[in-house]
Amino acid sequence: MAGAASALFLLDIKGRVLVWRDYRGDVSAAQAERFFSKLIEKEGDSQSNDPVAYDNGVTYMFVQHSNVYLMIASRQNCNAASLITFLHRVVDVFKHYFEELEEESLRDNFVVVYELLDEMMDFGYPQYTEARILCEFIKTDAYRMEVTQRPPMAVTNAVSWRSEGLQYKKNEVFLDVIENVNILVNSNGQIVRSDVVGALKMRTYLTGMPECKLGLNDRVLLEAQGRATKGKAIDLEDIKFHQCVRLARFENDRTISFIPPDGAFDLMTYRLSTQVKPLIWVEAQIERHSKSRVEMLVKARSQFKERSTATNVEIELPVQADASNPTVRTNLGSAAYAPEKDALVWKIKSFPGNKEYMLRAEFHLPSITAEEATPERKAPIRVKFEIPYFTVSGIQVRYLKIIEKSGYQALPWVRYITMAGEYELRLA
């Protein structure tokens, strides 16, 4: 990493330094406070929201969490993105130790905070940022701390995210490919936002230091190998990997190779910006028969293949805040009025593909209305669902190999789930 941090500061919401660690002796706490007080005065200015600022020969990088600011100052030409990522890792470690990172937890545990900062950064360069590894040699009991004389195995090893000597009677890997579909449809029925955010979530219970290799139906890889894609390959965007993945290997031949952490972690996240057809389409017609009676006709249609089935479907239909006494009829599932949400919630446990179902509801409104009634709030229809064994992108795990020097056989389990993310359809 080009350049290093001069100092790390933890400040309160008013910009006063609570804790700081000086690594190079060329930026003082007084300088940091003066800079930050100027920054707070500029609040509202578009530039005040930038996470990187330059002042009097010093670059400041900061993030906010709860009522605490974490800030790194450097006089060198540093890699700002790397140091901001490091600050987020500091937040994760503090939350692991103190449950929540806030001003009070820092004041109660300032001895542990200093010990952690000393282990996580050395002479301005990031070191160990895995909470599970730090816990092996910085142990807390209430507000007291004990430090063992022996550093943990992982710190003396190049693989800082995994301890040596792990043993399991049954070696297993669970890989979940989870895609969240985000859809926004306007009142004219046009899709104005559509994307898919995916994650490969892993849980590993493996002995020793296994080497894992994962193959996907990645178009770039298949074309490089001279294989015919026949429409089954995918183009992933904004790929982000866990630190265990060998990036140089991926960039060279698109192989995802890694020694995994123990337990649960996100191996990879990605995004698809291609337009997606709404998997569950909902239309609602609202008729006012008088000032005191409203009738709603709702059609829900599944727009995926018959071999798939959506589960735990929940369709939230907005109604007027003063509606009461609903009468509901539906040919699938159940519906209940939720006055705390000003909505009628239609729940369907199992919604097969390529099917359409209907709901009719009648609401009564107060017969007396205010002369200057506020305009009716037009909330959107919100949809939640899960579709197991299905992905929108068509991503496929072609293989998952686990190789360990002892030669044991590990069982890999892979499943696919598509879920609704921010899924909204606006009413006409």
Q: What is the pLDDT of residue 1?
A: 46
Angle, helices 80-98 vs 110-120, to 10°: value is 140
Report the C-alpha gap between 259 and 166 in whole angstroms: 13
How is residue 221 annotated by DSSP? H
- The side-by-side arrangement of strands in the sheet containing 58-65 is 17-22, 7-12, 68-74, 58-65, 52-55
Q: What is the pLDDT of residue 189?
A: 85
Q: What is the pLDDT of residue 147?
A: 43
Q: What is the pLDDT of residue 148?
A: 46
Same fold, 172-276+392-425 and 280-388: yes
pLDDT < 70 regions, the chain: 1-3, 42-49, 139-158, 220-232, 367-377
CATH class of 172-276+392-425: mainly beta
pTM: 0.67
Q: What is the pLDDT of residue 277?
A: 87
Q: How far from 191 is each of 14, 188, 195, 379, CA to CA, in Å?
A: 43, 9, 11, 17
Closest CA to 408 of 202, 209, 138, 132: 209
Identify the residue whose tokens are 């705390």: 340
Structure tokens at 413: 């389990």
Q: What is the pLDDT of residue 376?
A: 57
- As a CATH number, domain 280-388 is 2.60.40.1170
In a 13 Å sphere around the CA of 370, the CA atoms on its Cβ side amount to 6
Q: How far from 36 is each of 10, 55, 115, CA to CA, in Å?
A: 11, 10, 25
Report the C-alpha gap between 51 and 45 in whole angstroms: 13
Of 2.40.50.430, 3.30.450.60, 3.30.499.10, 1.10.3720.10, the CATH number of 7-147 is: 3.30.450.60
Report the C-alpha gap between 14 and 363 in whole angstroms: 51
Q: Where are the domains of the chain?
A: 7-147, 172-276+392-425, 280-388
